[in-house]
Amino acid sequence: MGIDPIEYTVWKDKKTPFRKRFLVISEKIFRKKLRSKAIWILLVIGYFLVHVFTISSAPFYPPEELTKELILYGEGTLTGEPYLKGGLFFIFTILLVSVVSSDIMSQDIRENSFVLYFSRPLRTVDYISGKIFGGLSIMSLYCAIPPILVGISVIATQTGDNYLGSLQILGLTIVAGIFTSFLYLPYAVLLSSLTERKAYSGIGTFMTFFVLTIVSELFTTFDPNWKLIGPENLLHFSYDVIYGIGLPEDVNLGLYIIAMIALIILPLMALYIRIRRKEVEG
């Protein structure tokens, strides 16, 4: 019985610069996720129910100018809900982040890929950044690009001549879209780093946000600041801050900042410690 020879191809490409290696990880995640049927199903349904009608309705009902009220509260979705502040937009956002993040870290844990990653000159921060940016690139397909297209379609067909004000709102919409794409990722990726099974990660992410939403609604009757426990409320309050509306009078600014830290900063810190330990063990 013969032995098949090992085929070896000489590497002819250039090495990626050290500080840009996280982009290689991001690109790999982006390409992989685009081959996922589950993600395509969510994107297609989400676009159809939330975005398409809003984008296409501007030429038929041209407003005078692009306003924050139109982006946040405009009844442009197929179901007649508000646009960015609608429940349907939020539901598809957390569904998508649950699917996108489900195997971002869990697959590396299951396959013990940390040994391969950190056998190269790759920092923990770069590894985490690559994973986060990879997820962000997919999330932006639903959370950032469509609202920007809505703003562009409105500006292109507006009947008024206040284009400077419309462009300002468009700029804030870009910020809001990127923020939405990122907001839930740190926590979702952290959960993915705690298990080898992507199903546990995805379901755990969705159920956490779902349960927090219910708890927020139950306890808001006792104190309005319980609204900050709900991921949807926190997102909507952030929109108010971005668009210059300000927080509701019954919501404490300090508690809002603490809630943001708990949702973004603390998961990132825990994720860094988790991956750093894996790097040392590897």
Tens of pLDDT, residues 130-148: 899 999 999 999 999 999 9
pTM comes to 0.87
Q: Is the pLDDT of residue 90 over 90?
A: yes
5 is a domain residue: no
Residue 123: pLDDT band with limits 50, 70, 90: confident
Query: What pLDDT, on a 0 to 100 scale, did the predictor assign at position 140?
Result: 96
Q: Which domain holds residue 162?
A: 19-281
Question: Per the structure, how many domains does the chain have?
Answer: 1
214 is a domain residue: yes
Please give the mean pLDDT across all residues of the chain.
85
14 is a domain residue: no
**Quick one: which of 190, 167, 168, 183 has its CA closest to 238?**
183
**214-233 mean pLDDT:** 92
Q: Is the pLDDT of residue 17 over 70?
A: no
10 is a domain residue: no
**207-217 mean pLDDT:** 93
4 is a domain residue: no
CA–CA dist 17, 22 (Å, integer): 10
Handedness of CA 238, 184, 23, 17 (dihedral sign): positive
**112-120 mean pLDDT:** 66
CA–CA dist 90, 84 (Å, integer): 8
